A and B are shown apart, each in its own frame.
Chain A
Amino acid sequence: MKAKIRKIVTFVEETRREMDKTIEPATRRAAAAAVIENPFAGRYVEDLSELIEIGEELGALLTERAVVALGIPGPSAESYGKAAAVGENGELEHAAAVLHPKLGTPVRRVLGKGAALIPSSKKRGGIGVTLDIPLGHKDAAYVRSHFDGMEIRVSDAPRANEILVAIAVTDSGRPLARVGGLTKDQIKGEDGLR
């Protein structure tokens, strides 16, 4: 593996009740995050291809971890998202290199489909910084019930020369979705939008 991983953290949230209503089945979402060494920390490097390759590796690894944590087959996943936090000796562009050029293909391979853009967020931050991973339906970005976000943090990362990279996967939308819009049973699945 090109990625030098210090640790991997997985998070699973299962919501069983909300506003005194039972959520049946419970909504579930998982995030898997890797803390990696930033090969370009502390200097300007023009060619970011090493981080692009690392992104491809992490796309597969973290999606598999998240799906295993949910205990579902990949194709049963409903929404997804990705995010990265670069430690203080790195550059925002390093997060972009990990997340954008090559990470998506293996994510979609694990999940079977995924016509929609994978929503993303990125930042530079210190140890314990929070990541709000945006979530959207994997086959149709306009499915309103699945617009969401999952907050995670790893208390000892990213150190200055590290990058925290996370992928979130769900088997459901918000617990009590009721603001209308496109629903998942109306997905045409042609353009990744509707």
Chain B
Amino acid sequence: MSSAEVRKVVHIVEEIFHEGGPRANVPLRRAAALAVIRNPFAGKYVEQIEEFMNDLKPLGLEMAKSLVAELGGDAKVVEGYGKGAIVGADGEIEHGALWHVPGGYAMREILNGAKAIVPSSKKVGGPGARLDVPITHINASYVRSHFDAMEVGIPDAPRVDEMVLALVMTTGARIHARAGGLKASEIKGEDGLR
């Protein structure tokens, strides 16, 4: 197993106090970790690419740990998550799909076996491309208050032979969540959905 070649890492942390409504006693925090890596398959069609998922595992763990650290160091505060990838122009969308397993399972491991599927988005794009990373509750995908998204991007990435890999974690519901649906307090926690 080799390891991913990282050019740059970017961290973004948002601390949200209000959005025109009452100011929250505890602000919502959303953190994103982005890594710019070389795409080993850029510029050619390669049939067998699955092995690269193993190469990405250490990076996924490093990024997941850094997010927990940025949110205060205790995995228990993390309530939402998501992931995504932007593939540079000499790559294909399938290369971005290699991030599902190492990115998703790294977060679920660091978050003590979170049950819900990790929502994701991906695209092919140029430097500065923006990605809306979807976010849902870590243990029950249907918790409506935690449906969210965080826009991320890096001005100088991805270059054509690179990929931007993203993980996102949040500490709670949207700041003025009031659109009904399943509440976090009603989670059964059996199937990752409700």
Contacts and interface: CB of A to CB of B under 8 A. Distances in A.
B15 A6 contact: no
Nearest to B12: A11
Contacts of B151: 155
Interface string B13-44: 11111110000000100000000000000000
B7 A11 contact: no
Interface residue tally on B, bucketed by range:
20 to 34
A5 B7 CA distance: 34
Contacts of B15: 7-9
Interface string A1-42: 000011111111111111000000000000000000000000
Given A6-B18, A6-B19, A13 B8 contact: yes
A12 B10 contact: yes
Contact of A69 (B5, B11, B14, B19): B11
A152 to B, nearest CB: 9
Interface residues of A, number: 19
A5 B17 contact: yes
B7 A15 contact: yes
**Chief secondary structure at chain B's binding surface:** strand
A151 B14 contact: no
Contacts of A16: 6-9
Contact of B13 (A9, A14, A151, A155): A9
A121 to B, nearest CB: 15
Nearest to A31: B12
B155 interface: yes
Contact of B12 (A10, A17, A18, A151): A10
Contacts of A151: 155
Given A15-B7, A16-B6, A17-B6, A9 B14 contact: yes
Interface string B167-191: 0000000000000000000000000
B19 A14 contact: no
A18 B10 contact: no
Contacts of A154: 14
Contact of B17 (A6, A13, A18, A155): A6
A152 B9 CA distance: 15
B5 A9 contact: no
B41 to A, nearest CB: 17
Contacts of A14: 8-10
A164 B13 CA distance: 15
B16 A11 contact: no
Contacts of B155: 130, 151
Interface of A: 5-18, 69, 130, 151, 154-155
Given A7-B15, A10-B13, A155-B130, 7 more contacts: A6-B19, A7-B16, A9-B13, A12-B11, A13-B8, A17-B6, A155-B151
